[in-house]
Structure formats: C-alpha cells, structure tokens
Chain A
Amino acid sequence: MPRERRATVVPRAAACLLAGLLMPVAVRAADDDIIVEPDAANAADSRGAHLIDLGSNFDANLFDQRGNGWVIRGGGPGAAADAQPASPAVGRGRDLGLKRLERIETACGVTEEQRRVLLLAIESDVRRFAAEIEAVRGKYAGRQINMNDQAGQREWNAFQQDIRRCRERLQDLFDGGSLFATVLVSTLDPGQRECLAAETAARRSFHWRVMVLEMVAKLDDSLGFDQEQHDVVVKELLAKEPALRVDAEPLERDDANLQRNLVLMVLAGADQRQLRSALSEPQWRTLSQLMNQGRAMRSWIEQQGVLEGKP
C-alpha cells in the first residue's frame, strides 16, 4: 500500500538522520513517500518552526519527482526572498513532445512538412500547458509555510493537490484532446497511421509480457508452480492485456510495485474457474489473497496514469 509519511511528524533529529542517509543516493522517493532533503531537514529554527518555501518546491515536485513521491527542498529564513527561477514547464513539455515525435518518426517515418506541422502542434500544446502551470505556480511564489503548525500542514496538503493536478496535466499533455493528437490523425496518411498503431500495439504487448513474465516468475518462487500451472496463469494474463500507456512516464518509470499490483489486479479479473482448477488448494488460497490485494489497489493503480484513459 502506498504510504504517506508527513515530514512534519518526523522528529527533527530523525529527519536530519534520514536526510543524512539519503545524501549518497539519487533523490527518488518511492510512491507517496516524502523525501526531506538535507537543507530542508536542517531548516527548523531555534523556535521549532520548520519553514518550507513552496515556490522553490513547486518545480521540484512537479518536474523532478517521479510517481507519487514528494520531496521537500530548501526552506529556512530568507529562502522565500529569492526570486523564483523561470519555469521549466516549456522545456519539459518540449522534451516530451520531441520524444514522442521521434518515436513516431522511427515507427512510420514523416515528411519534412508533416514534421513541421507536428512541431507546431507540440509548441502550441506546450505553450498552453506552460501558461496553465504558471498560473498555479504563481500562487506559491515566495510563499513560506511552517510545517510544524496546522495551518502550514493544511497549506502543504493544498499544495500537494495542486501538484497532483499538474502532474496529471503533464501526463496528458499530448493525449486525446491535445492539438497534437488531433493534428497527428489528420497529418499522417492511412499507411503511416496503421504503421504507428502496429508499433504502439507491439510496444504495449511487449511491456505487458515483461510485467507478466516477471510477476509469474515471482509466483513460481512463492507458490511452486509447475510448467502447466505457469502456462495457465500466463495465458490468462496475456489474454487480458490492459491498455498500457506506452508513451507516458509511468511505464518509463519502471516501478516494480506498480507493475506487480497491476498484474495482480488484471489476474483478479481473469477466468477464476480456470485458475482455480489449475492450482492446488494451498496455491489457490495464497493467490486469492494476492489477487484481493491487486483488486483493492485498482484506484491507486488508475491514479498512477499507467492505463489509457485513466485518470
């Protein structure tokens, strides 16, 4: 289950220790964890106030943090007085757009004219996205809160809600409803569209197969499957391939926990009689518990944006 540890309830000494332990490794939070970076951990002043500058944390949480993780950076007296740097929204949006365009070029090839049109669409989507983000980001410029009081915590929660909405917007930047998605359909010829669809489907199937084989290899270890049982489970799972978003960040995140739960969720929707008859009683009992966990994680999985149309 995703956990949420509030930095405000982490004792100061523990927060410092945590920050010290985290220093040598890359800053990447597991889902819903909060990483308190060293400067922020030391930002508590002598009166016990733990000051956080939301302006400087906005970009870090929207653009640098993957998944549902949270990071608390900087803070302390005077931090809020620093001017907010330019938003990375345009640059990040362009990078995502160019990456998607590159994938399309690789899959079906595009003419110079098609490329020009698609680049214009990307730029337009990116500008609109950046303006939306800037409006939210502006609310937090120079805004400093004390994480050790209730008002500060409420504001942190509101900040998290805003960041979540912005993350979803970033994920959907070039999906249906975007100018890019509309223009793509009218710009590519039928042969190119077919080719692109085939490439996308192949990539989706490949990554689903990877998730399935990895998870069932683990079930091999924990349930003692023989080949026949393994084949039944794999067949059921492959037949229920979900609509993975292959162009989106969640798939690229390579989150083992998300993938494990996704596979279990899909397995929970497979033909239970078929599974039941293939497995022994002890195996079935354990697998049922695992599938229940997967089923219970559905809304969390959908929130991650790993599936088309969700959220």
Chain B
Amino acid sequence: MTGSFRTAVLVAVLAGLPGAGAAAEDEAARQAAERDMRGLGWLLQQGLRVRAVAAPQRPNEAQRAGIEQHAKQMERFFQPMLHAELELVRRSCGSLTPAARNQILKVGREAVAAAAGGMAERQLTGRLGSDPFDPREEIRKRLGEAVATQATPAELAAYRGEVERRSERRAEAARVAIVARVDRQLDLSREQRKAIEAELERRWQAEWVRDLDHRSVRINNNYPPAPDQMAAAIRPHLDAGQVAEWEEWCRAAGSRVVKLPFNLNLDGQGIQQLDSWWGK
C-alpha cells in the first residue's frame, strides 16, 4: 500500500466527516477536527497495516475468469522456458526411459500452466511488485523435483551440477555488469575493476543477480541506478575524486531513491520445438 494511496483514502474518508476541514470555522472546532483527523488517521493506518501483512488478496470471481484467460495466453510465452530446461535435462540424463520422460514432460507442462497462472494472478490483482514471483524459477523447481524422482543418482547429480554451474555463470555475468556500470560512471582503472569484481564475488548475495534484469534503466537526469547495495564492495576501491562522484550518484539514483520495478526478462526467442527424444 503506497503512501499516496493511504493519503488518498484518508482524504476521501475525511471529506465526508461533519466538522472536519473547511466546516471548522473557529479555533476550537479546528483543533477538534485535527484531533479527529489524527485519530482517524491512526485507525486507518492500523487497518491498512493489518491489510498489508494479511494473506495476499485473493481474486474475486470476475477477476478469476480474466486471470484464467490471461494465463492461457501467457503459457505460450512460458513454453520456451520449459523447452530450454528440458534440453538441459536431456543432455544430463540421457538414460531416462520413455516412461520417465513422459512423466517429466507432464510435470513440466503442469509447471508452465502453474507459472502462467501465478504470473497472471499477480498481474491482474496488482500484486506483481509486492509479491515476487519468478515463473522461470517456478518451472525449474517443479521440473527439478520431477527429475529427482526419475533419474539415476549419477544423472541427477549431473543435472544438479549443471543447474548449479548455470547459477554461478549468471552470478558472474551480474557481477561484471555491475563493475561495468560503475566503470562507465566513474572511469575505473584496470586494477580497480579487478579489485571490485573480486570483492563482489567475495561478498556476493544471491538476490544481487536480479540486477541483470534492470539493464539500460535510466533515471534522474540519465543516471543509471547506483548499485549502492554493493557499496561495501565498491567504495573502498575508489579514489577520493571517485568517492565524491559515487556519493553524488547514490544520492541521485541510489536504492533509496529508485525502486526498480519487477522485470521479467523473457528476451525474445527460445526453443520452440522439443527434441524428438521427448516423444509427442
């Protein structure tokens, strides 16, 4: 619930209160109105806080129909995510029997439907920003569980190893992209780039990988978002002039100023047709 929305609700409610606002002509009435406003504001805040921490809002019947329709359309876009993951399964678990493949494929298709449903629901109930959901991870998680029940221990280990290495590769890509962003802004030397990259690796936090999804975002007079969450890995390696620029950058476009939106990076094409190994 945003501050502006809270204010709007408060104003809307107060507009209908007798004695509040413009109707209060003398000082005593004005003070009484102010007291009422504060009291009501507090009550509203409590109510809204309860709403904010309560279970996610469930869609009503009318929304439900729209969500189902939207989810169906979305499945088409999520299908390549499944196909890419199945390709990795095929390469890691080559001895899966046709029955096991069928089972994995079935789970995969259900995962696509679930991911599309989850995404559509969040989109159409306005929860996308407050209730993080990554459809790709959802598909991978469910598929991984299915592989665990079907693959031999050795092939399962191979698959999991590939998944792990892919995460490491993505983290590395995110790390160097962060260094590149700092370099563009502050003109780092070769040694500084190396030092910051190494320090980022040492202090790496899994959620920083999301940084990759906000490429090319420009805000506040053409500043890119300042990676100030990673300041501990960056600032110690800057010289005095760069520190001054860094601080200005963080003031203009740091995480306190910029709330980056949820960004699902589908990035174009993926595998449209599965290998015949998976059958029909």
Residues of A at under 8 Å CB distance from B?
25-26, 28, 66, 99, 102-103, 106-107, 199, 202-203, 206-207, 209-210, 213-214, 216-218, 220-227, 230, 251-252, 254-257, 260, 280-283, 285-286, 289-290
Q: Which of B212, B215, B222, B274 contacts A26 (CB 8 A)?
A: B222
- Interface residue tally of chain B, by bracket? 35 or more
**Complex partner residue of B176 from A102, A199, A213, A230, CB under 8 angstroms:** A213
Chain B neighbourhood of A286, CB < 8 A: 269-272
Is the CB of B205 closer than 8 A to any CB of chain A? no
CB-defined A-B contacts under 8 Å, sample of 10 = A106-B189, A202-B190, A203-B190, A210-B180, A218-B267, A220-B169, A221-B136, A224-B85, A280-B91, A282-B271
Closest-CB distance, A225 to chain B (whole angstroms): 8
Q: Using Cβ atoms and an 8 Å threshold, which residues of chain B touch A255? A: 216
Digit string of B245-280 for contact with A (CB within 8 Å is 1, else 0)? Answer: 000000000000000000001011111111100000
Bound Cα distance A285, B64 (Å): 38
- Complex interface: chain B residues within 8 A of A216 (CB): 169, 173
* Contact yes or no, B176 A28, CB < 8 A: no
Cα of A25 to Cα of B86 in the assembled complex, Å: 40
The interface bits of chain B over 148-168 (1 if a CB of A lies within 8 angstroms of the residue's CB, else 0) are: 000000000000001001100
B83 near A224 (CB under 8 angstroms)?
yes
Contact B86–A224 (Cβ < 8 Å): yes
Cα of A255 to Cα of B187 in the assembled complex, Å: 18
Q: Are B190 and A214 in contact (CB under 8 A)?
A: no
Q: Which residues in window 172-186 of B have CB below 8 A to A?
A: 172-173, 176-177, 179-181, 183-184
Binding site for A on B (CB under 8 A): 80-81, 83-88, 90-92, 136, 162, 165-166, 169-170, 172-173, 176-177, 179-181, 183-184, 187, 189-190, 193, 212, 215-216, 218-222, 224, 265, 267-275
Whether B87 and A283, one on each chain, are in contact in the complex, defined by CB atoms closer than 8 angstroms, is yes
The residue of chain B having its C-beta at the shortest distance from the C-beta of A257 within the complex is B216
Report whether A213 and B169 are in contact in the complex, using a CB–CB cutoff of 8 Å.
yes
> Are the CB atoms of A214 and B215 closer together than 8 Å?
yes
CB B121 to nearest CB in A, in angstroms, measures 23
- CB-contact partner of A210 in B83, B177, B216, B218, under 8 A: B177
Q: Which chain A residues lie closer than 8 Å to B215 at the CB level? A: 214, 254, 256
| Cβ contact within 8 Å between B275 and A222 | no
CB pair A222 B173 closer than 8 Å:
no
Most buried by B among A28, A107, A289: A28
Residues B193 and A282 in contact, CB atoms below 8 Å apart: no
Inter-chain CA distance A185–B215, complex, in Å, is: 36
Beyond contacts A102-B187, A221-B270, A225-B88: 4 other A-B pairs, Cβ-Cβ < 8 A, are A213-B173, A221-B81, A224-B87, A282-B274
Q: Is the CB of A224 within 8 A of B84?
A: yes
Count of chain A to chain B residue pairs whose CB atoms are closer than 8 Å in the complex: 126
Known contacts A217-B173, A283-B271, A290-B268; A226 and B218 CB within 8 A of each other: no
A202 to B197, CA, bound (A): 14
A contact residues around B267 at 8 Å (CB): 218, 221-222, 260
Name the distance in Å between A29's Cβ and chain B's nearest Cβ: 10
Question: Is the CB–CB distance between B184 and A221 below 8 Å?
Answer: no
User: Is the Cβ of A214 less than 8 Å from the Cβ of B212?
Assistant: yes
Q: List the A residue with the shortest CB-CB distance to B86.
A: A224
Contact A254 B216 (CB under 8 A): yes
Known: A26-B221, A213-B173, A280-B87. A222 touches B187 (CB 8 A): no
Contact assessment for A107 and B189 in the assembled complex, using a CB-CB cutoff below 8 Å? yes
Complex formed: what's the CA distance from A218 to B136 in Å? 12
Please, which residue of chain A has its CB at the minimum distance from the CB of B165? Answer: A227
3 smallest beta-carbon distances between A and B, as pairs: A224-B87, A224-B84, A222-B270
Q: How far is the CA of A283 from the CA of B273 in the complex (A)?
A: 10
Q: Which residues of B contact A257 (CB under 8 A)?
A: 216
Residue of A nearest to B253 (CB): A26
Residues of B within 8 Å of A213, CB to CB, are 169, 172-173, 176-177
Asked, given contacts A103-B187, A217-B212, whether A222 binds B268 with beta carbons under 8 Å apart, the answer is yes
Q: Let me know if B169 and A230 touch, CB within 8 A.
A: yes
B226 CB to nearest A CB, Å: 13
Q: Are A226 and B270 neighbours in the complex by a CB distance under 8 Å? A: no
B80 contacts across to A, CB distance below 8 A? 222
Q: When chains A and B are docked, how far (Å) is the Cα of A213 from the Cα of B166?
A: 12
Q: Does the CB pair A217–B265 fall under 8 Å?
A: no
Report chain A residues within 8 Å CB of B220. Answer: 26
A198: nearest residue on chain B (CB-CB)?
B190
Q: Write the chain B residue with the least CB distance to A290.
A: B269
